[in-house]
Amino acid sequence: MTDMTRETTTRPRPWSALTRPRTTGQAFTAGLAVLAGTLAITVVGGLLTKLFMREASGMLRALVVVAVLTVVAVAVRPHYGSWRDLGVTPWTPSSGSGLLLVALSLAVSPLAFGVQTLEPKVWLLLLAGYLLTGFTEELVWRGMAWRVLTLLGPARGPLVGSALFGLAHLGNVLYRDSVVLVAAQVWGAFCFGLGYAALRRRTGTIVPLMGLHLLTDLCAAVSSGPSLALLVGQDVVLLTLGVVLLARDSRSARRLGDGGPLPQRRGSTATNLG
């Protein structure tokens, strides 16, 4: 009998290099693609909401755009891997507990100055906006971007990802009145991203980072204290934390001869899921 079965060759999809890169060049390009997509939605959304929501506050317009970002991020997520691949896994108390406590202390520290009196509708807008922001930004930047940038190495990957995360905030000029404030936000996001990248690597999950991200933004927004000074202080701590931990991880990876998972410490279940 003649075997009529034909072998079929699975051709890579045109965009596969942007979601599953195989070289460092492709990884860098994939990271830029995440930035381009995020900025495109932020800028186009900002322009459209200004056109069709002229009476709405910047806060409400930003909520609409971040909701769109959330839908798009969840829709494209399968192209980057499973939820588990992107770090959406249960957190175990033995994994980076001390570092997460530091981040939690930073997040709630603005409340030491008291809480502003706000209308219920403002609270709802803030809660909804920062809930979506915490979920989406961690999924996109410590999930998808983290995964595609892994080939750049244990230090360079998070560094590049944090720089791109900072630049992604340039679109906020469409929602805020001060360009100087947005520039400061870009730098602050870089510092924040570097610290959270170190936490991502140590804990192996982005789930607690989503909650911490929400708390950081919300507590800073409702605090009665000097918000700019508080945010600068938080950025200094997170930048220092990120530099120290990622430098240590890079040295450990060089001793192992690659950029793979960190050696397991006793009592730790942290792995490099990127």
pLDDT at 232 over 50: yes
pLDDT at 70 over 50: yes
Evaluate if residue 266 carries a pLDDT over 80.
no
pLDDT in tens, 236-252: 999 999 999 999 988 88
Single-letter residue type at 232: V
Average pLDDT over residues 150-168: 95
Tell me which of 263 and 80 has the higher pLDDT.
80
Which alpha helices (H) appear in 53-153, and where do they start and end?
58-80, 97-108, 120-139, 145-148
d(CA 237, CA 189): 13
Closest C-alpha to 171, from 183, 163, 161, 156? 183
pLDDT on residue 261? 42
Report residue 257's pLDDT band, with 50, 70 and 90 as the boundaries: low
User: Per residue in 110-126, pLDDT tens?
Assistant: 999 999 999 999 999 99
In this structure, the dihedral spanned by the alpha carbons of residues 33, 36, 38 and 42, taken in order and rounded to 10 degrees, is -170
User: Taking a C-beta distance cutoff of 8 angstroms, is the pair 59, 129 a contact?
Assistant: yes
Query: Which residues sit opposite 115 in a β-bridge?
Result: 223
Distance CA 16, CA 202 (A): 28
Per-residue pLDDT reduced to its tens digit, 78-115? 999 999 999 999 988 877 889 999 999 999 999 999 99
pLDDT at 12: 58
Instruction: Tell me what pLDDT residue 13 has.
Output: 66
Is the overall model pTM greater than 0.75, yes or no?
Answer: yes
CB-based contact 255:142 (threshold 8 Å): no
